[in-house]
Amino acid sequence: MAQVISNSGHDDMIHDAVLDYYGRRLATCSSDKTIKIFEVEGESHRLTETLKGHEGAVWCVSWAHPKYGNILASASYDGKVFIWREQNNQWQKIYEFALHTASVNLVAWAPHDAGCLLACASSDGNVSVLEFKDNTWSHQIFPAHGIGVNAVSWAPAIAPGALTSASGPATPSMRRFVTGGSDCQVKIWEFNPETGSYVCSNTLTGHNDWVRDVAWSPTVLSKAYIASASQDKTVRIWTSSNPDLREWKSITLNVDAVAWRVSWSLSGNVLAVSTGDNRVSLWKERLSGGWECVKTIEE
């Protein structure tokens, strides 16, 4: 990844670099207000497109699932979210969401079986969810964390344990996500089909400084796992084993530096934590309980 970034054609700091579903394309974004698209072939890569239009640093890019086409979302300091699509080798901005009044810090697509849904976390304290359905975009926007939302992450579309229960998945595609805010809180949101809106079903407290990132594990085992990274130099791992996810327990990992990002492996059982001292540590749950650091990578 470093090799790609070092000669990526951006003039400023790279904020995000994401491979598409097949690993054939890399999207990067930067303080220079642009997004670059690279074709990746083996060890080599070539710049194929530079997307312009944001008026501030671009913090985050995210690929939609290929079942929706070649679609990329971007989030910027300018308060806007852009949706880009490639058709016949031409990239085009197909939608612009401009209702946030401050920086949009992170965007995340829902699991594809829940629908074509994008959640956006903003410094204005609000979260928005954009949905593409019946050929049109719609949105909801609602207050989440008073002094700013830093991160958002979707739950798997199947509730924990549903795959292993005799009756099979009772609710095939749950719409649930977690947010982290500058109010030191982690909140869980659920879509209520009756009211057609998202409601906060749980507020998880324990951090004593900004929550910088949250990550919901993609695994659908008997438990749900959420990791939260904070400025308080800890990562908390929250688990819930009841199907309605009403009760959560947490374990604290001391990482000795500001925790910036957390990310789960695809199988969901290894957690990567990146910290302000330019390290990435990998954590695994012990069979006996508790978590251990299995590897540290100096950047």
DSSP 144-162: -STT-EEEEEEPPSS-TTT
| Predicted confidence band of residue 126 (pLDDT cuts 50, 70, 90) | very high
Tokens 């901005």, residue located: 93
**Residue 12, pLDDT score:** 78
| Predicted confidence band of residue 218 (pLDDT cuts 50, 70, 90) | very high
- Asked if residue 163 has pLDDT above 80, the reply is no
Query: What are the CA-CA distances from residue 168 to residues 111, 115, 161, 176, 193 (Å)?
Result: 19, 20, 9, 19, 21
**Residue 169, pLDDT score:** 47
**Residue 158, pLDDT score:** 80
Closest CA to 60 of 102, 105, 101, 125: 105
81 close to 64: Cβ distance less than 8 angstroms: no
**Residue 221, pLDDT score:** 76
**Residue 185, pLDDT score:** 98
**Close Cβ partners of 42 (under 8 Å, ≥ 6 residues apart):** none
**Residue 116, pLDDT score:** 96
96 close to 104: Cβ distance less than 8 angstroms: no
Distance CA 159, CA 19 (A): 27
- Asked if residue 170 has pLDDT above 70, the reply is no
pLDDT tens string 191-211: 999 999 999 999 999 999 999
178 close to 201: Cβ distance less than 8 angstroms: no
Residue 3 is inside which H or E element, if any? helix 2-6
pTM: 0.91
Helix (H, G, I), strand (E, B) or coil at 113: helix
**Residue 173, pLDDT score:** 66
Closest CA to 181 of 158, 160, 200: 200
**Residue 75, pLDDT score:** 98
Please state whether 20 falls in left (phi above 0), alpha (psi between -120 and 50) or beta: beta
End-to-end CA distance of the chain: 11
**Residue 122, pLDDT score:** 98
Distance CA 252, CA 187 (A): 17
Q: Mean pLDDT over residues 116-124, rounded?
A: 98
| Predicted confidence band of residue 9 (pLDDT cuts 50, 70, 90) | low
